[in-house]
Structure 1
Amino acid sequence: MEPSDLGTDLARVLLTQEQLESRLDEMAQKIDEDYAGKDLLLVGVLKGAVMVMADLSRRLHHPVHMDWMAVSSYGSGTKSSGVVRILKDLDADLTGRHVLIVEDIIDSGLTLSWLVSNLRSRGPASVEIATMLRKPDAAKVDVDVRYTGYDIPNEFVVGYGLDFAEKYRNLPFVGTLAPHVYSS
């Protein structure tokens, strides 16, 4: 899809496909260096991380294992309370393994903080985080992120895995929607 395919629904493009791809190349190079000779398990958080996970994993220069989790946080409307329910757990045993959680975006950090604690309780050798996007101004808890694509303003964004009402995930860029899309 191109920005023009969205007509008046798109307010602006925040990060282009080229910017995302360039940063993924850099992140993958650093991950390759940091995990050389180690058994790495990438854990994608559904549904948003699908694009990042696929593109990042294809840029790595050594074999990795991949697994997926789906979690839901309870809260009012669009706000997370940090109370989390696992909808789909990992199939892999984490004991003694190096785990890299792959995220599309870190907002409040509440759900991710819970997830890191949960995975660390399973006996891995290490647990680190890679995210394409992070909103520092939205953080409610401090989450140590090892690999960050871009820090972005505290705006609602779509594309590259991020959705509004399950739409716009397939955009190859990250953008903001025009108010008429979500205010009706």
Structure 2
Amino acid sequence: MAKRLCKMNRKQIAENLGEIHRLVVAPKYVCRSCTRSSAEKSSLCKPAAIPPQHCQNKPLEEQKSCGLLAEALPKQSEQKADAVRRVVERVKAKVELTKASPVKKEADVELSSVDLLDKKAIKKAKKAIKKQFKQQKKLLKLAKKQGKLLKRQKKLEAGIAQSKVLTRQLPQLVELQNQSSIH
């Protein structure tokens, strides 16, 4: 079996079923792209080792110490972490403002409502930009299609013009042929 499990078609799978059963009885590796499992690393296109069961049964904090499992654990993106940091900083700033001046609560409420309006405006602007991008994409697609149709129309018109010329010349050619065969 030279081909990887991921690349096999139904006919090849049927032909090599015995070998496939042997490979998947006790899998040690899993393909990261198509999630097929196998006992041999060479039979998968993007193999990743399956961690032992005792590692999988541990709590989430202890799973990070297991090298094989750490790769499979979900990673928090840095953007989310930055967003969380910003929110925490805003909350801290608001708490400090409320402690410093209890009289300015109305101004603080106005600031938070401005933040919400600003976020809504940003969200609406993003939506509008996305919609505009989609419309431009559709227009480009239509322009491309129209260009293809125009090219096809010109080709057909050229073919029709050529056939008209030939139909006009056909009687003359037939007459010439008849005259040459008579002489």
TM-score (norm 2): 0.16
Higher helix share: 2
Task: Considering Cα pairs closer than 8 Å and 6+ residues apart, tell me whether 1 or 2 has the greater RCO.
Answer: 1
